[in-house]
Amino acid sequence: MTNVAMINTDSCNCIVKLFIFMTRKSESYTCNFYLLLIIYLFLLGCSTTQPPVPVVDRVKTDSAASARPIESNNLDHPQFYIVQQGDTLYGIALKNNVDYKKLVEWNEITDPNSIKPGQKISLSIPISDSQPILFALPQQPITTAIEPGVDSSDFATSAANNNVNAGRLKTSPKALKLPFSEQNVARLQYPENHTSPSAAQPLPVAPPVMANTKIETAPQPETSKSDIPTSHSIAEWIWPTTGKLLSSFSNNSKGVKISGQAGQPIFASAAGEVVYSGHGLRGYGNLIIIKHNNTFLSAYAHNSRLLVKEGEAVAKGQKIAEMGNTDTDMTQLHFEIRKHGKPVDPLEYLPNQS
């Protein structure tokens, strides 16, 4: 642009000099007038600046377009937990604030007591809650008559474009598709004949009964159905021990802490089945977890002695442990109630202390 401006300026100077020279030589005023007009128009054109021609870097534009984020239906990779020696599914669920029933569903576990060291456990649902649950069945080959002389690949392309397969799927569905909800999740748990999702068949509407649970077959002395908590009622729970309340439920505490003496008895707060008895969870010490029903679990931590074993049925008020200080700096009981795997405030369920 600078070179062009310099050329225009030199040309204008030459024209001006030429005009002066010719006016001196010419004696005709008419010629001088037209010559002056021509030079004026030329100078006007020289003085007009044209806007620069836009330069488009097409390579850069294409790369910028390719750098735009592409919407994808891919979900975040789920988190996993590698089973260690002594782990139980209930303990893993308690440690990660997940309902053990969801771990069973997400990992297609037929028996919660059958996990092995080194096994990878998914800790999150592989699809978003807003998406329906889809268990795809293997698609059967569709046999279609093709006229002689027609290329089968062309026919397949045409059929895909005309949504032929989609129409067939509507008349003969190949998958069970349900909206995600607690009720529908319950329908998908513990099928009578466990199969992989790729071969899953439509499940019955009636909610299934938990299979292979010892609480139904094991003897339950002093235990009745009325003793098992099934609702939010506070009267169905009892305090697991006596003592001063050291801390209440909060964002930093998943339960309540109760002080006491070493060896003080710890009682089952409600009837149920012992699903964990051990010391494999860091921070809980000697721990007992009782499953009361499909909704509630209770946990008793920091015990000095455990008196019940996994799979044992316990009655409400039965002595299950002795108070201690394992994995803590003072003798106490850390008590939790979990609803669908999530910690809730035990004081909302326990009766008022007299």
Most confident among 22-31, 46-55, 324-333 (mean pLDDT): 324-333
Is residue 174's pLDDT more than 70?
no
Report if residue 307 sits inside a domain: yes
Q: Region 203-218: what's the mean pLDDT? A: 46
Instruction: Copy the structure tokens of residue 149.
Output: 């002389």
Q: Region 272-292: what's the mean pLDDT? A: 93
Q: Are 250 and 332 in a shared domain?
A: yes
Instruction: Copy the structure tokens of residue 4.
Output: 């062009």
Q: Are 30 and 131 in a shared domain?
A: no
Residue span of the structural domain in which 9 resides: 2-47
- Chain-centre distance for alpha carbon 267: 37
Report if residue 72 sits inside a domain: no
Cβ contacts of 270 within 8 Å, gap of 6 or more: 227, 228, 229, 236, 237, 238, 290, 292, 296, 298, 316
Lowest mean pLDDT across 123-127, 286-290, 322-326: 123-127
Q: Are 230 and 332 in a shared domain?
A: yes
Give the single-character DSSP code of 51.
Answer: P
Question: What CA–CA distance (Å, rounded) separates 158 from 324?
Answer: 74
Q: Are 21 and 127 in a shared domain?
A: no
Cβ contacts of 130 within 8 Å, gap of 6 or more: 180
Q: Are 23 and 85 in a shared domain?
A: no
Q: Are 125 and 13 in a shared domain?
A: no
Q: Are 247 and 322 in a shared domain?
A: yes
Domains in the chain: how many in total? 3
- Chain-centre distance for alpha carbon 309: 34
Task: Please provide the average confidence, as pLDDT, over all residues in the chain.
Answer: 70
Report if residue 200 sits inside a domain: no
Q: What is the pTM of this model?
A: 0.45
Q: Do the bridges between strand 319-323 and strand 296-306 make them parallel or antiparallel, or are there none, so unpaired?
A: antiparallel
Instruction: Look at residue 255 in the predicted model and tell me its pLDDT.
Output: 95
Instruction: Give yes or no for a contact between 278 and 287, defined as CB atoms under 8 angstroms apart.
Output: yes
Q: Are 105 and 19 in a shared domain?
A: no
Is residue 111's pLDDT more than 70?
yes
What is the end-to-end Cα distance of the chain in Å, rounded?
95
Report if residue 6 sits inside a domain: yes
Instruction: Copy the structure tokens of residue 314.
Output: 């316990």
Assign residue 125 the CATH number of its domain.
3.10.350.10
Instruction: Give yes or no for a contact between 174 and 139, defined as CB atoms under 8 angstroms apart.
Output: yes
Question: What CA–CA distance (Å, rounded) separates 100 from 112?
Answer: 8
Give the single-character DSSP code of 335.
Answer: E
Is residue 199's pLDDT more than 50?
no
Q: Are 256 and 314 in a shared domain?
A: yes
Q: Region 237-261: what's the mean pLDDT? A: 94
Report if residue 184 sits inside a domain: yes
Instruction: Look at residue 347 in the predicted model and tell me its pLDDT.
Output: 94
Instruction: Copy the structure tokens of residue 324.
Output: 């201690």
Report the percentage of the chain scoring pLDDT > 90: 29
Closest by CA position to 262, among listed 207, 304, 320: 304
Instruction: Copy the structure tokens of residue 44.
Output: 């006007």
Report if residue 150 sits inside a domain: no
Instruction: Give yes or no for a contact between 274 and 312, defined as CB atoms under 8 angstroms apart.
Output: yes
Q: Are 28 and 91 in a shared domain?
A: no
Instruction: Copy the structure tokens of residue 160.
Output: 């895909």
Give the single-character DSSP code of 329.
Answer: S
Which parts of 197-326 fold into alpha helices (H)?
214-217
Instruction: Look at residue 218 in the predicted model and tell me its pLDDT.
Output: 39
Assign residue 314 the CATH number of its domain.
2.70.70.10
Report if residue 250 sits inside a domain: yes
Instruction: Give yes or no for a contact between 125 and 107, defined as CB atoms under 8 angstroms apart.
Output: no
Give 297's pLDDT tier (boundaries 50, 70, 90): very high
Instruction: Look at residue 15 in the predicted model and tell me its pLDDT.
Output: 63
Q: Are 229 and 292 in a shared domain?
A: yes
Q: Are 127 and 239 in a shared domain?
A: no
Which residue reads 């440690």 in tokens? 95
| Position 64, amino acid | A
Residue 299, classed as helix, strand or coil, is strand
Report if residue 56 sits inside a domain: no
| Position 169, amino acid | L
DSSP symbols for 103-163? HHHHHT-S-TT---TT-EEE-S-SS-TTSPEEEEPPPPPPP----TT--HHHHHHHHHHTT
